[in-house]
Amino acid sequence: MITTPGPLPTMSLEEIWPPYALRITAGDLELRIVRESDFPELVAVALDGVHPPEEMPFYFPWTDAPPEKLAAEYVKYHSQIKASFDRTSPNLEFVVRRSGEVVGSQGFNAQNFPVLRAGETGSWLGQRFQRQGIGTRMRQAICAFAFDVLGAVEITSGAFADNAASLAVSRKVGYQPNGVQRKPRRDSAAAHQSLLLTPETFQRGESIEVKGAEELLSFLELAE
């Protein structure tokens, strides 16, 4: 008698890649690690507009890409982020939803985190969702997570000196000026303001709820 072997046991995506289990909620905002299934909505928001075309708030001008290329370039960027992820230098890129609707993306990136306990925040928000306090709230949420869950002791960020909106968000969250450098922007140089946030200067927002933290900390070998 020939027996047919049963199906092989399979792991869930969250078991294969524990960062996928991470979910941060703050009121009606939800931050989850970007998955491929999020790309259609993220790309739609990006193509709808992130900033006026005559302005460039980003050090790397990804929004200058033609619409027919931006989508593929965005997917490639996130593939590179995931490929560069390791336990000492976690690069966490979140899709941000408000009441279920994608509004933008929030990142926390670190190098040699177990030693330095420091990371950098970066984000973008669809233009139609700006000036509603969302940018401040999602930054407060990721900083609370970094300090309270990951155990960060400082967080850096930065913005071009003429990016008043981003700098205003940083001030509300508690970032302090940390030097000015000249950086390339499109075809010229521009003043770029570096910023530093510590637990002592952090201006907290609404409380956050974090799910999947235990799995992430174990994966990063940060669990006590």
- Per residue in 163-222, pLDDT (tens digit) is 999 999 999 999 999 999 999 988 899 999 999 999 999 999 999 999 999 999 999 998
Cβ burial of 25 (10 Å; 0-12, 13-18, 19+) is middle
Strand partners, 98: 29, 101
CB 159 within 8 A of CB 166: yes
Residues 6+ apart with CB under 8 A from 59: 158, 160, 183, 184, 185, 192
Confidence band, pLDDT 50/70/90 cuts, at residue 224: low
Q: Which of 52-61, 87-96, 134-143, 166-175 has the lowest mean pLDDT?
A: 52-61
Confidence band, pLDDT 50/70/90 cuts, at residue 61: confident
In this prediction, residues 60-86 reach a mean pLDDT of: 88
Other residues' Cβ atoms within 10 Å of the Cβ of residue 55: 13
In this prediction, residues 117-125 reach a mean pLDDT of: 97
**What 3-state DSSP class applies to 100?**
coil
Residues 6+ apart with CB under 8 A from 54: none
Other residues' Cβ atoms within 10 Å of the Cβ of residue 100: 7
What tokens appear for 112 in the block? 């040699």
pLDDT at 1 over 80: no
Q: Which residue has the tokens 């201006």?
A: 203
CB 33 within 8 A of CB 19: yes
**Per-residue pLDDT, 223:** 72
> Which sign, positive or negative, has the C-alpha torsion 204, 210, 214, 219?
negative
What tokens appear for 194 in the block? 């570096």
Residues 6+ apart with CB under 8 A from 80: none
Return the CATH fold of 41-219. Aminopeptidase (3.40.630)
Statement: the pTM of the whole predicted model exceeds 0.85: yes
**Which H/E stretch holds residue 45?**
helix 39-48
d(CA 130, CA 134): 7
Confidence band, pLDDT 50/70/90 cuts, at residue 35: very high
